[in-house]
Amino acid sequence: MANQPAAGLRARMARWPVTAPPTLYLVLFFLVPTLIMVLASIQYPGEFGGLSPILIEDQGHTRLDITLENYQRAVSETIYLQLFLKSLWYAIVTTVLCLVLAYPLSMMIARSNKKYRDLLLLLVILPFWSNFLIRIYAWMIILGPQAALAKGVNAALGAVGMEPVSLLFSPFAVIVGLVYVHLPFMILPLYANLEKHDPTLLDAAQDLGANAWQRFWKVTFPLSLPGVYAGAALVFIPALGAFAVPDLLGGTDAIMIGNVIKEQFREARDWPFGAALSFVLMAVALLAALAAAWAGKRYQQQAD
Amino acid sequence: MAGATRSNSATRVSRPLLGLSLAVYLFLYIPLIVVIVYSFNASRVQSGEWGGFTLDWYNKLLHNETLLNATLNSLIIGVAAAAIATVLGTLAGLALHRYKLRLLPVLVLAPVAIPEILQAVSLVLFFNAINLTLGMVSIILSHVAFCISFVAIVVRSRLQGMDESLTEAARDLGATPWQAFRMVTLPLIMPGIIAGALMAFTLSIDDFVITFFTSGPDAATLPLQIYSMIKVVVTPEVNAVSTLLMLLTLILIIIANKIAPSALQAK
Amino acid sequence: MALLEIRNVSRRFGDFLAVDNVSLEVGAGEFFTLVGPSGCGKTTLLRMIAGFDQPDTGQIVLEGKNLEGTPPEARNVHTVFQSYALFPHMTVEQNIAFPLRMAKTADDQIKPRVAEALEDVRLADKGKRYPHELSGGQRQRVALARALVNRPKLLLLDEPLAALDAKLKEQMQLELIELQREVGVTFIYVTHDQGEALALSHRIAVMNHGIIEQLDEPSKVYGFPKNRFVADFIGTCNLWEGTVTSAGERDFVLDLDGIGTARAIPNTTTKAMPQPGQRGCLTLRPEKLRIAADLAPLPEENSAAGKVHDFLYLGDVTIYIVNLDQGARIEAMLPNAASGRTRFFEVGDPVKIAWRVDAGHFIDG
C-alpha cells in the first residue's frame, strides 16, 4: 500500500509506458518552452527581430551575451508599471464582479430541487461552450455606438446636458467582457462547494435564533470560502493575462499587459522584452495561485 | 415526510435569490441571442434596426472560400489534437491516479493555472529555437500541449470515483494487470475518456490566443478568420458563422450528454 | 499437511508494524476467522494471502507451495470484498462468468457453470440484472457466487456482512455456514464483530496490534480466554484483579480487589496451581453470576453483596450493574425467560450475587 519494497524495480518499470509519454510531451512542449522564455528574457533582441545569440564570438573568445536591461525597462518605464497596475485593477474588479454575480446563482442552484440542479448548471455552462471570440463579439454588437443601449444612454446624457460617451472601446467594455468570459470559472467551484453544505446547519442556526442575514454571513459564507478562493484564482489569473478581450473591446486607453506582450511579438518585434514582461506576468499569476492554495489550505486546517 | 420535504426545499430558495439568478441567466444568454437574431437580419448595418428576415448571410458563407478553408483547417487541427491529447491525457490521468509522482502533476496543472498568453509566447520562442516553420504542425503540437491537462483531469476524476477494489477483484479472479485494465478499468473510465476527447476537440476548435501566436501565414483557423472579420470590418456573415458554431457545440454537448451525463460538469 | 501455512510473517508500513511475526495454519475445509479491532492487522494479513500485498519477512505457503512472487491472478485464492466489488458494467451472469473466462474455460462450459453457481446462491432468475438493480443481500450472494464459481482452494472474506442490517446479517450468517459446508472450500473470514466470529467459525484467531492473542475454537476462546484482551474483546466479561492467598489440592483462594475472598480453580489450559502472593485476574461472564434479593450460597459457590446501580433491559435478558459493598462494580445478566416481568430489581435495591468456584477462568500474571 504505502511502500512496497518487494515490488520495487519491477513496479517502477511497469510505470514507464504510462508515465513516460505524457511526461515527455509536456516536458518538451511546456517545460522547455517556458525555460526558453525565461532565457529569452535576458537576451538581446536580434537585428531583424527574434533573438540575438546567447554566445557570441568576440575577438576570438566566446562569451555570454546576456542582459538584465529588459527587466530594468519593464520596471523603470512608468508606462509599463502603470499598465501592470491597470491590468491588476481590471482583474481585481472582474474577480469581485464575478463573485457578486456568481454567488446568488450558485446558491440558487445548490438549494434547488436535486432533479433540476444538473439542468440549471448545464444552462450556466452552455454559453461557455460557444466560441470565445463570438462571446466577445456579441458585446461588440450590444455596446456598439449604433445599438439601442448606447443610443439610450447617450440620449439620457444629452438630456442632462452631458457629452455623449462611447460604451464600446472603453474600460467599461473591457470589464463587461472579462466578467462575461470568466463568470463560469467562478460559478462552478462555488456551486461545487455550496452543494455540499448540510442544509440542517441552516436549520440549526435558525433554531438558535439567527435571522436570514445572519445565517448567510455566519454560516453559509464562511463555509463557502474554499470555493470562493478557488473561483477567485480561476478568474483572476486568466483575467490578468487577458489579451483578446481588451484587444477587441478596449480602446487605446483600455489596453492590458497582454496586449503589450502581443505587440512585442508582432509589431515591435522585441522578443526579449516581451519575454521579460511575460515572466513578470507569470510570477504575479503564480503568486496569486499560491495565495489561493495557501488560503484554501489554511481554511482546511481550521476546519479540521 | 414528502410534504415536509417539499415545503422545506421551497422555502430554501427565496424570491430575491430567484430574481437575482434569473438576471444572471439573462446576462449569460442575451448576448448570444442577439448574435443569433442578427444572423437573420437583412439590414447590413449592425444597429437595432430590423431589416427583415433573410438567409443571405448563410448563403454568402457557403461561397466564402477563405472561411471554408479556415473551417477545414480547424477541423483537421481539432481532430488531430484531440486524438493525440486523448491518448496522452488518459495516460497522464492514469499515472496521476496510480502513482505518487513529482514532475507530472506540476506539468499537468501548470498550463491550466497560468494565463494562456504565456504558453503562447513560450511556444513561439520554442518553435523559433528548433527552427520549426509556423503552420498546421506547430498549431497541432501547441493544442495538444494544453488539451492534455483537461483530458487528464477528467480521466483522473473518473478514476477517483471508481471503487479501488474493482481492479483488485479482477486480479483476484484471475485477470492479469493488462486484462484487469482492459476489461474493468477501461470500460468504467470510458465515459471520462470520451468526455475528455470532446472537450479537447472543442477547446482546440475554439482556441484563439495560442493559435494566434503559433500559426503561420498559410494556416488560418476559423477563430483567426472570425478575429479578422470582427477586428477590421464587421460583416454580418460573422453572425451566421457564430450561429452555426453554436449549433455545432450544442450538438456536441447533446452527444456528450448521451454518452456520459456526468462528464459535462467537469469543464 | 495444512492447506495454508503462514510462517513468521511481518509487514510494516512506515513506523507502523501492521503484522508482527504471525504464524498459523489453516486446514482444508475449515471455516477460519480472523477477528480483532480495527488496525489489528487482520485485513493486512488477508491482503497478503490474496497477493495484493507482500510480507516484508516470512512466507505464505499454499498446498506446500511458497506464494512469494506469485501475483494475485495466479493464486488459487479468491476474495469476497467488503464493498463486494461487483463490476458495475457487467450483468450478474457476466460477473460470475469473469473468473471462468480468465481461466480460459471452454465457452460451452461457462453457461452451465454460471447457471449452477446462480442456483447455489438462489439467484437463478437474476442473471440478466445489473448489480445496481439488486438489493444488498443479493449483491452479497452474487459476490459469493463469483468468487466460488471456479472452486478456489481458499476463499477470503473481508467483512462481507458489515454493510447489512442486523436481521439480514443473521440470515446471511446461516447461509454462509450452509454454503461453506456444501462447497467444501476453505474460508478465511475477517471481521471486527466478535459475535459473528463466534457464530460462524470452526476456529478463531483473535488479533491485536499485529499479533495473534489466541487461536482456538469459539467455545474455548469465549470460555477460556488466554489473556485480559481476549476476555474483554470477545463478549462482555467481568475482569477481577486479585492476589492468591492460599493454594489447595484442587482449588485456591483469592483476595479480589473490591470484592473479597473467593475460591477459584487453576487455569484450565495451563493447569498450573498458582502460588500464594501471586497476582492474577479472574474473568467471569455476566451470565454465570447468580443474582437475587437474598440468597444462601451453595457449598461450591462464592458470594458478595451490593446495591443495584443501574440496569439495561434488552428484551431477552436484563443486564444489572451492581456496586458491591467492598467497592467493585460488576455486571450480571438475568434471562427474562421465566417471568412476564421486565425487571426483578429497582435501582438502589440491595442484592446478593453468587458464582460457582469453577465458573470463573483464572489468568495468571
The per-residue pLDDT string of chain A (304 residues; one tens digit each, 9 = 90 and over) reads 444 444 566 667 778 889 999 999 999 999 999 999 999 888 888 766 677 777 777 777 777 777 888 888 877 888 888 888 999 999 999 999 999 999 999 999 998 888 888 889 888 888 887 888 889 988 988 888 777 777 778 788 888 877 777 778 889 999 999 999 999 999 999 999 998 888 888 888 888 888 888 888 888 999 999 899 989 999 999 999 998 999 999 878 788 999 999 988 888 788 899 999 999 898 888 888 888 888 877 776 665 5
Q: What is the DSSP letter of A28?
A: I
| Nearest-CB residue to A6 (from C13, C14, C54) | C54
- For residue A114, give how far its alpha carbon lies from the nearest alpha carbon of chain C (Å): 20
Between chain B and chain C, the number of residue pairs with CB atoms below 8 A apart is 61
Q: What is the pLDDT of residues B148-206, one digit of tens each?
A: 999 999 999 989 988 889 999 999 999 998 999 999 999 999 988 988 998 899 889 98
- Which helix (H) or strand (E) is B253 found in, with range? helix B237-259
Q: What is the pLDDT of residue A8?
A: 62
* Structural domains of chain A ordered from first start: 17-67 (no CATH), 77-303 (1.10.3720.10)
Asked whether B242 and A136 are in contact (CB, 8 A), the reply is no
Rounded CA gap, C47 and A37, in Å?
Answer: 50
Q: What is the DSSP letter of C126?
A: G
Label each residue of A209-252 as H, E or C: CCCHHHHHHHHHHHHHHHHHHHHHHHHHHHHHCCCHHHHHHCCH
CA of B175: how far to CAs of B94, C102, C151, C245, C272, in Å?
19, 6, 16, 64, 54
* Structural domains of chain B ordered from first start: 56-266 (1.10.3720.10)
Q: What is the pLDDT of residue A27?
A: 96
Q: What is the pLDDT of residue C143?
A: 95
Q: Give the chains touching C; criterion: ≥3 Cβ pairs < 8 Å.
A: A, B
| Nearest-CB residue to C13 (from A1, A6, A7) | A1
Rounded CA gap, B64 and B33, in Å?
Answer: 24
Residue whose C-alpha is closest to residue B33's, from A141, A120, A166, A105: A141
Q: What is the DSSP letter of C205?
A: E
Q: Between β-strands C31-35 and C203-208, what pairing exists: parallel, antiparallel or unpaired?
A: parallel
Q: Give the CA angle between residues C270, C273, C275 to the nearest 5°.
A: 130
Strands (E), chain A: 55-58, 61-64
Q: What is the pLDDT of residue C23?
A: 96
Q: What is the pLDDT of residue C145?
A: 94
Q: Between β-strands C260-264 and C57-62, what pairing exists: parallel, antiparallel or unpaired?
A: unpaired
Any chain B CB within 8 A of the CB of A249?
no
Instruction: Judge: C79–B172 Cβ closer than 8 Å, yes or no.
Output: yes
Low-confidence ranges of chain C (pLDDT < 50): none
Rounded CA gap, C235 and C245, in Å?
Answer: 29
B176 interaction partners in chain C (CB closer than 8 Å): 71, 73
Could you give the angle at which helices A221-240 and A271-303 cross, rounded to 10 degrees?
Answer: 170
Rounded CA gap, C200 and C166, in Å?
Answer: 15
Assess whether pLDDT exceeds 60 at residue B264: no
Hey, is A47 helix, strand or coil? strand
C-alpha Rg value of chain C to the nearest Å: 25
Instruction: Judge: B184–C77 Cβ closer than 8 Å, yes or no.
Output: no
Cβ neighbors of B202 (< 8 A, separation 6 or more) are A129, B78, B249, B252
The per-residue b/e assignment along C321-348, b for 16 or more CB within 10 angstroms, e otherwise, is bbebeeebebbbbbebeeeeeeebbeee
Please name the residue of chain C whose CA is at the shortest distance from the CA of residue A3.
C13
- The residue behind cell 496543472 is B109
Per the structure block, which three cell numbers stand in for B13?
430558495
Fold of C4-231: Rossmann fold (3.40.50)
Q: What is the pLDDT of residues C292-318, one digit of tens each?
A: 888 888 888 999 999 999 998 888 888
- Residues 98-137 of chain A with CB under 8 A from chain B are 101-102, 104-105, 107-109, 111-113, 118, 121-137
Please report, as a single letter, which amino acid is at residue C239. Answer: L
Asked whether C350 and C307 are in contact (CB, 8 A), the reply is yes
Q: Between β-strands C290-292 and C260-264, what pairing exists: parallel, antiparallel or unpaired?
A: unpaired
In a mutational test of the B interface, the residue from C52, C70, C73, C101 whose CB has the highest number of chain B CBs within 10 Å is C73
Question: For chain C, how long is the longest CA-to-CA vector?
Answer: 76
Q: For the sheet containing C203-208, what is the strand order?
A: C77-80, C154-158, C186-191, C31-35, C203-208, C211-216
Domain ranges of chain C: 4-231, 236-364
Hey, is C51 helix, strand or coil? coil
- Residues 14-43 of chain C with CB under 8 A from chain A are 14
Asked whether B204 and B147 are in contact (CB, 8 A), the reply is yes
- Residues 63-82 of chain A with CB under 8 A from chain B are none
Q: What is the pLDDT of residues B202-232, one digit of tens each?
A: 889 989 999 999 998 777 899 998 898 888 7
CA of A156: how far to CAs of A148, A153, A163, C187, C212, in Å?
12, 5, 10, 86, 88
Hey, is C178 helix, strand or coil? helix
Instruction: Judge: A131–B94 Cβ closer than 8 Å, yes or no.
Output: no
- For residue C69, give how far its alpha carbon lies from the nearest alpha carbon of chain A (Å): 9
Rounded CA gap, B151 and C121, in Å?
Answer: 42
How many whole angstroms from its chain centre is CA C195? 6
Q: What is the pLDDT of residue A251?
A: 79
Find residue C12's DSSP bridge partners: C17
Phi, psi of C36 (to 5 degrees): 170, 170
| Percentage of chain B modeled with pLDDT above 70 | 89
Find residue A293's DSSP bridge partners: none
Please name the residue of chain A whose CA is at the shortest distance from the CA of residue B35.
A138
Could you give the angle at which helices B15-38 and A171-194 cross, rounded to 10 degrees?
Answer: 130
Q: What is the pLDDT of residues C25-60, one digit of tens each?
A: 999 999 999 999 998 999 999 999 999 999 999 999
Find residue C260's DSSP bridge partners: C256
Assess whether pLDDT exceeds 60 at residue B7: no
Asked whether B118 and A278 are in contact (CB, 8 A), the reply is yes
- For residue C61, give how far its alpha carbon lies from the nearest alpha carbon of chain B (Å): 17
Mean pLDDT of B238-263: 78
Q: What is the DSSP letter of C184?
A: -
Rounded CA gap, C215 and B3, in Å?
Answer: 56
Asked whether C277 and C266 are in contact (CB, 8 A), the reply is no
Q: What is the pLDDT of residue A303?
A: 57
CATH number of C236-364: 2.40.50.140
Asked whether C45 and C60 are in contact (CB, 8 A), the reply is no
Q: Give the chains touching B; criterion: ≥3 Cβ pairs < 8 Å.
A: A, C
Rounded CA gap, C2 and C20, in Å?
Answer: 21
In a mutational test of the A interface, the residue from B38, B88, B117, B186 whose CB has the highest number of chain A CBs within 10 Å is B117
Any chain C CB within 8 A of the CB of B172?
yes
Asked whether B43 and B50 are in contact (CB, 8 A), the reply is yes
Any chain B CB within 8 A of the CB of C83?
yes
Instruction: Judge: A6–C14 Cβ closer than 8 Å, yes or no.
Output: no
Phi, psi of C185 (to 5 degrees): -80, 145
Q: What is the DSSP letter of C260?
A: E
Asked whether A106 and A191 are in contact (CB, 8 A), the reply is yes
How many whole angstroms from its chain centre is CA C99? 30
Instruction: Judge: A4–C56 Cβ closer than 8 Å, yes or no.
Output: no
Q: What is the pLDDT of residue B245?
A: 84
CA of B159: how far to CAs of B91, B185, C178, in Å?
12, 8, 38
Predicted structure pTM score: 0.81
Asked whether C186 and C153 are in contact (CB, 8 A), the reply is yes
Q: What DSSP string runs through C307-354?
A: EEEEEEE-SSEEEEEEEETTS-EEEEEEE-SS-S-S-S--TT-EEEEE
In a mutational test of the C interface, the residue from A1, A3, A4, A10 whose CB has the highest number of chain C CBs within 10 Å is A1
Rounded CA gap, B237 and B64, in Å?
Answer: 10
